[in-house]
């Protein structure tokens, strides 16, 4: 158990819909990263938040957005869903106080768009 | 276009043998590298990391080798066990800021008892 929690574990929805994925980082970790893992693209970095502020952006579509709240949990919002958005979505958190750059991954949310 | 599944490289080894998983990274400016193990239905799990000022680092049954000249990383697993069966990803920190990770495509390790 990494200490990172994600809900829901599974999500099935229809094209055009909007969903929200939730992540709670490890206690004390200020950074949250979101990654998408699809069959044809592997693990792709989407976005990072650090202590409530957006820090880095990767291959994130304009239909997707995220935020980090004062209690450090984060939400990833996916809208106008398309079939190709079906994937595993992972969040990871990191402790910036030590030398290690290790990111601790949650169990993921499996999104299926029908 | 039609999506196709990633055809992961596969390594099949006998239980007790040593395994070597290779990875080529893309950015010569990357200064931090990490290996993750992902079992089916789970999130990636940290194995070992290495900074660019080192060329070798050892953990418990695992060793990571870094060759910056050819931008190559390898993971050696000693005395491979059935529980080591998983997909292994190397990752680099790419932009040296914030710590986003750029993942390789992964290698599937299959351990035969």
**B49–A100: do the CB atoms touch at under 8 Å?**
yes
User: How far is the CA of A69 from the CAs of A52, A96, B100, in angstroms?
Assistant: 6, 18, 20
> Which parts of chain B have pLDDT scores under 70?
1-7, 95-98
Q: Which of B46, B89, B100 sits opposite A45 (nearest CB)?
A: B100
Q: What is the pLDDT of residue A42?
A: 83
The conformational region for residue B60 under phi > 0 = left, psi -120 to 50 = alpha, else beta, is beta
ω into B24 cis (within 30 of 0): no
Report which of A21, A49, A50, A24 is spatially closest to residue A37, judged by C-alpha positions: A21
Identify the closest residue of chain B to A49 by CA–CA distance.
B98
How many interface pairs between A and B have CB atoms less than 8 angstroms apart? 74
Q: What is the pLDDT of residue A95?
A: 83
Share of chain A above pLDDT 70, in %: 98
Q: Which residues of A touch B (CB under 8 A)?
A: 2, 4, 31, 33, 35, 38-45, 48, 50, 55-56, 58, 84, 90, 92, 94, 96, 100-108
**SS3 call for A53:** strand
Q: B50 pairs with which residues across the strands?
A: B33
Q: Which residues contact B52 (CB under 8 A, 6 or more apart)?
A: B30, B31, B32, B33, B66, B68
When pLDDT is cut at 50, 70 and 90, the band that residue A4 belongs to is very high
Q: Taking 60 as the threshold, does the pLDDT of residue A102 lie above it?
A: yes
Q: Taking 90 as the threshold, does the pLDDT of residue A39 lie above it?
A: no
When pLDDT is cut at 50, 70 and 90, the band that residue A40 belongs to is confident
Whole-angstrom distance, CA of residue A30 vs CA of residue A102 = 13
Say if B87 is an interface residue toward chain A (CB within 8 Å): no
CB-CB neighbors (< 8 A) of A84 in chain B: 3
Selected for mutation to probe chain B from A53, A102, A106 (highest B CB count within 10 Å) is A102
Report which of B23, B41, B50 is spatially closest to residue B107, judged by C-alpha positions: B23
CB-CB neighbors (< 8 A) of A40 in chain B: 3-6
Whole-angstrom distance, CA of residue B81 vs CA of residue A29 = 33
Mean pLDDT, chain B, integer: 89
């Amino acid at each position: 158990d990494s200490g990172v929690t994600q809900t829901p574990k599974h999500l099935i929805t229809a094209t055009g819909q909007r969903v929200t994925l939730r992540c709670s980082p490890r206690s004390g970790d200020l950074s949250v990263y979101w990654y998408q893992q699809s069959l044809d693209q592997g693990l792709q970095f989407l976005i990072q938040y650090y202590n409530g502020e957006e820090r880095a952006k990767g291959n994130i579509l304009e239909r997707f957005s995220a935020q980090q709240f004062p209690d450090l949990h984060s939400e990833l919002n996916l809208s106008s869903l398309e079939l190709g958005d079906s994937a595993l979505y992972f969040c990871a958190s990191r402790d910036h106080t030590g030398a290690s750059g290790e990111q601790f991954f949650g169990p993921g949310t499996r999104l299926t768009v029908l | 276009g039609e999506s196709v599944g990633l055809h992961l490289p596969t390594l099949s080894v006998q239980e007790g043998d040593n395994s070597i998983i290779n990875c080529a990274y893309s950015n010569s400016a990357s200064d931090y590298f990490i290996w993750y193990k992902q079992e089916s239905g789970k999130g990636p799990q940290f194995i070992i990391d290495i900074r660019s000022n080192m060329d070798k680092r050892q953990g418990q049954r695992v060793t990571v080798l870094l060759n910056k000249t050819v931008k190559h990383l390898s993971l050696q697993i000693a005395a491979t066990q059935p529980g080591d069966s998983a997909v292994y990803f190397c990752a680099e920190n790419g932009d040296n800021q914030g710590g986003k990770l750029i993942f390789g495509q992964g290698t599937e390790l299959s351990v035969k008892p």
